[in-house]
Chains A and B, each alone.
Chain A
Amino acid sequence: MKGRQEWRGAVVTRAQSIADGIRLIEFAVEGGLPPFEPGSHVSVEVMIEGAPAIRSYTCVSSDAGHIRLAVKRHENSRGGSRFMWTLVEGARLRITLPENRFALSWRASSYLLLAGGIGITPIYGMAKALSVRARPVRLAYAASTRGELAFAGELSELMGTDAEFFVSEEGRRIDLAAEFAELPPDGEAYICGPLGMLNAAKAAWAATGRPSSRLRFEVFGDSGERPEVPFSVEIAGIGKRVDVASDQSLLDALNAAGVDMIWDCLRGECGLCAVDIVELNGELDHRDVFFSDEEKREQRRMCTCVSRLAGGSAIIDTGYRKS
């Protein structure tokens, strides 16, 4: 149950490519804008096939009165990033005021920031804020190619050798265990990146025996271990079959088919949209952080907002009972 979100009119003041596959889109917000902290996000009303839909994006640190978003073009976008990429200067849309659920504590003796790909968006602002205020901070930023690194110049200039870049195409990967070993015991780590990186970081962190609350992460719920392909589900007790397109979430498909569902976060965090899996004829691609690794291995439930099948079909149970 979130507080009321305040929607504002906004106009695009800048839209440009800042790295391979990443566009920076800047908005001026009507009625002024309170300052926001690194880690904040906004909801944007996007148009997908002529119908409005809401997408959440992390804010990049911005000039006063402006909101900047860095949007990666996803090949199998559900339409959100595709729409955002069409925005040009002067375009108008609706946006919420920034809200923060990935805030820096400002209480640790030192900070380790880990970013993977577009996960740099909240991390960039954190790196900037910590560096400006002279707090001990190290950034490890991974991307597939050098061209995909966003803000690398600014970060190098600001942080010097405290910012290190790991380009997998050049054979360099972040050694998570080594990074954590270097972090003082009361240090905190903040990570944003693809699910595989997050899972590896969680496992490496757990292995150090440090308190889980000192590893903070944000998920986008838009990456999995397998590519997005169409699949279908049959709903037990209703008998309805629903086809899910590659650029559509299972939850969206269920809603579109008139299947009653509840949900909240749409990022695989809250677990409200989870359904039981009665029968599985395909491979599950869990993309949520709600279920534990063990629960994911059991393949008995899935979060419909982000998780999907890598093809094939399943019979699911949404809990609907006729009597």
Chain B
Amino acid sequence: MEEHSFPLNAWYAAAWDVEVGRSLLARKICGKPVVMYRRQDGAAVALADACWHRLLPLSKGELHGDNVICGYHGLEFDDTGRCVYMPSQDTINPSACVTSFPVVERHRFIWIWPGDPALADPDLVPDLHWNDDPKWAADGKVIHVMCNYRLVIDNLMDLTHETYVHGSSIGNRAVAEAPFTVSHGEGRATVTRWMADIDPPPFWRAQLGKPGNVDRWQIINFEAPATIAIDVGVAPVGTGAPDGDRSQGVNGFVLNTITPETESTCHYFWAFARNYRLSEQARTHELREGVATIFREDELILEAQQKAIEENPDHIFYNLNIDAGSMWARKLIDKMILEENSAKAAAE
């Protein structure tokens, strides 16, 4: 049986909604080459990106109505992946079809299910509603990161690194010094960190627009296998944020969902959502570009880490207390993989 570091029976973000349109977009998802496009009625389609006949990627062909025409010999496939035209013959070989992946468009992402299509329940799409909720203003990007997707999850499940990787923007000593708590449930893990009465880092000072010390929070919500919504914000000290009254503060959500591409590369989809100054489109733009700059710092670390892992194949990770969140995430992912493999083994 093939061993992967990721489950296949899960929804993975394959693209931002705006990336998929009336042209062919090729992207590898969980090791599977996929071609995506929209039908004339707007519905997104994801087909295996290899022609049934001679395996030329269909993405090198063209879109014709709701169908894809292979760019080699003109075989035409409809949006269900069935061949509907073959050159120089009157009939169509009954075996001719390519895989059509289950697709759901939600929270501004195109989600696909690379595993057993019979299990693809749209209710299981991870919750990233902040990305298109009118009470929030959000935008983001996708980064092609040259590392295993779990390294990105490690990175997000422990924000101690902010102090060292993002010292000039969102990190300061307080993050590395504050204690945190970890909880876990079915397919979920949460790391909560409150930093009481601190001098906010420059980024948060600017977002709050008020002087003085703050109470700062970071609540990292992991949803297996690869989605992390981080509830972040600051409120003037003494206004009751730790007790649930955030009304005097500013609240953001860092939305992350990471899609394995191969064992050593991934597509990292992220967005930043805020619940203040919703109509300021310029702020939305600036936040997106600002976060992109911050994440570029992570990207350099992650790629260097992946390279070092490959250069030290026998070295096993040491874990620290700060890794509790990522250890829970890994345990929950491993559980999904184990269940998937044992279901496969027991399958009729």
Contact = CB atoms under 8 A, between A and B. Distances in A.
Contacts of A86: none
A34 B78 contact: no
Contact of B102 (A107, A214, A219, A289): A107
Contacts of A85: none
Interface in B1-48: 1
A157 to B, nearest CB: 16
Nearest to A213: B82
B348 A105 contact: no
Contact of A35 (B84, B100, B347): B347
A286 to B, nearest CB: 12
A6 B118 CA distance: 26
Nearest to A62: B348
B100 A107 contact: yes
A154 interface: no
Contacts of B348: 35, 61-64, 128
Contact of A216 (B94, B100, B346): B94
Nearest to A99: B95
Interface string A283-308: 00000011110110000000000000
Given A106-B120, A107-B80, A211-B78, A34 B344 contact: yes
Interface residues of B, number: 26
Contacts of B345: 35, 64
Interface in B94-118: 94-95, 97, 100, 102, 117-118
B90 interface: yes
A1 interface: yes
Contact of A289 (B81, B83, B94): B94
A212 B83 CA distance: 10
A290 B80 contact: no
A181 B346 CA distance: 38
A185 to B, nearest CB: 14
Contacts of B78: 211, 213
B95 A269 contact: yes
B92 A218 contact: no
Interface string A77-112: 000000000000000000000000111111100000
A212 B94 contact: no
Contacts of A107: 80, 100, 102, 117
Given A35-B348, A101-B95, A105-B100, A290 B89 contact: yes
Contacts of B293: none
A101 B97 CA distance: 8
Interface in A134-169: none
Interface size class of A (residues with CB under 8 A): 35 or more
B68 to A, nearest CB: 13
A129 B94 contact: no
A133 interface: yes
A212 B92 contact: yes
Given A106-B117, A107-B117, A213 B84 contact: yes
A271 interface: yes
Looking at A35, A62, A133, which has the most chain B CB atoms within 10 Å of its CB?
Answer: A35
Contacts of A101: 94-95
Looking at B94, B100, B347, which has the most chain A CB atoms within 10 Å of its CB?
Answer: B94
B2 to A, nearest CB: 9
B344 A102 contact: no
B315 interface: no
- 3 tightest Cβ-Cβ pairs between the two chains A and B: A213-B82, A35-B347, A101-B95
29 contacts: A34-B344, A35-B344, A35-B348, A62-B348, A63-B348, A64-B345, A101-B94, A101-B95, A102-B94, A102-B95, A104-B118, A105-B81, A105-B117, A106-B102, A106-B118, A107-B117, A128-B348, A212-B92, A213-B80, A213-B83, A214-B80, A219-B94, A265-B93, A269-B93, A269-B94, A271-B89, A291-B91, A292-B91, A294-B90
